[in-house]
Amino acid sequence: MSYIDRIQLGIDYIEAHLQLDIDIAHVAQAANMSRWHFQRMFKAMTGDTVKTYIRTRRFSQALEDLLATDRSILDIAITAGFESHESFTRAFKQHFAITPGEFRALGQERKFMQRIRIDKNYLQHINSNLSREPEIKHFDTSLYVGLQTTFYGADSEKNNFAQKLSHLWDDFLPRMHEIPDATPDIGYGLVEQTSRESELLNYYSVMKVNTISSIPDGMVHQTVSAGKYAVFAHCGDPLLLDDTVNYIYGTWLPHSGYEHRGAEDIEIYDQDYIPDSSDSVVYYALPLQ
């Protein structure tokens, strides 16, 4: 089953449970994907987080109910997932600049957000980048040493990756020289899930080592198993790396014939990496099967 079909299964699950308390882990299970990979693919394909989609669809249904039925606003609010008339009215006014009662009184037609049907034409519409083919490489099993943190990615409502990763690299860069037997002048960022059911991720700022003879105080080691990778070159501002990652997950991977292997994604910062420069190149390696 293709990634497009799997994401659609997740959307179908959301639509079938729109009036219930939806656990994103259950949505991902319906799509036969881990929570992080479902959220990552969904955000890359649609531009919205899963929670934003659910919230907007519920608002859309509430708008239809306000115009087309005589149900009470409290009943509509509860159906839309709000605990009270007041919390619904507050959120509604913040979103649409009028209250639900005012909207119903005006009776004006609005364009409602319909359920997403994902297909190739839709993907082409939401991705403005030109298609780029990666270099397919085999990486040997490798050892890494460095610092580690946990974070939530851009696909999560709890997104804090910019702050957490920036602080981690600020701490790691002055200490790279402490790592014995390391490949010089190349830094790596490793990204992995903490568990299949969680959206919390591990990130490692590391250097590759030939052997682990000793580990500097406060650092950790990580082994990445051998396997096939698609290696993309992100050219330009390093701060825009997530745009390239969105292209990889939202456009290239669904049509590639490959699947994500579940191993670590790898960022590679070699001699082509120039901090704060539009001439910089960062390589992003996606594990394949």
Cα–Cα distance measured from residue 266 to residue 259, given in angstroms and rounded to the nearest whole number:
16
If one counts every other C-beta atom within 10 angstroms of the C-beta of residue 158, the result is 12
- The reported pLDDT for the residue numbered 13 is 93
The answer to whether residue 255 scores a pLDDT higher than 90 is no
How does DSSP assign 231-274, residue by residue?
EEEEES-GGGHHHHHHHIIIIIHHHHS--B-SS-EEEEE-TT--
Residue of higher predicted confidence among 268 and 96: 268
Segment 147-163 shows an average pLDDT of: 87
Segment 152-168 shows an average pLDDT of: 86
If one counts every other C-beta atom within 10 angstroms of the C-beta of residue 218, the result is 10
- Long-range (24+ apart) CB contacts under 8 A made by 90-96 are 92/59, 92/62, 95/59
Q: Are 273 and 234 in contact (CB under 8 A)?
A: no
Residue of higher predicted confidence among 159 and 14: 14
Segment 160-164 shows an average pLDDT of: 86
The answer to whether residue 129 scores a pLDDT higher than 90 is no
- The reported pLDDT for the residue numbered 91 is 84
Longest dimension (CA), the chain: 74
- The reported pLDDT for the residue numbered 94 is 82
Residue of higher predicted confidence among 255 and 72: 72
| pLDDT interval class at 59 (50, 70, 90) | confident
Q: Mean pLDDT for the chain? A: 86
- The reported pLDDT for the residue numbered 126 is 36
CATH code at 135-288: 3.20.80.10
- The reported pLDDT for the residue numbered 241 is 84
Using a pLDDT cut of 70, give the percent of the chain over it. Answer: 91
- The reported pLDDT for the residue numbered 64 is 84
Domain locations in the chain as residue ranges: 3-117, 135-288
E-assigned strand segments in the chain: 135-139, 142-152, 187-193, 200-209, 220-224, 227-235, 265-269, 281-288
Note the pLDDT tens digit of each residue in 192-247. 999 888 889 999 999 999 998 889 999 999 999 999 999 998 888 888 888 888 88
- The reported pLDDT for the residue numbered 108 is 55
Query: Nearest 5°: CA angle at 48, between 189 and 193?
Result: 35
Q: Are 127 and 121 in contact (CB under 8 A)?
A: no
| pLDDT interval class at 98 (50, 70, 90) | confident
Which tokens in the block code for residue 54? 């659910």
The answer to whether residue 252 scores a pLDDT higher than 90 is no
Cα–Cα distance measured from residue 202 to residue 18, given in angstroms and rounded to the nearest whole number:
31
Taking domain 3-117, whether its CATH number is 1.10.10.60 is answered by yes
The answer to whether residue 77 scores a pLDDT higher than 80 is yes
Cα–Cα distance measured from residue 198 to residue 193, given in angstroms and rounded to the nearest whole number:
7
Cα–Cα distance measured from residue 157 to residue 201, given in angstroms and rounded to the nearest whole number:
14
- The reported pLDDT for the residue numbered 116 is 58
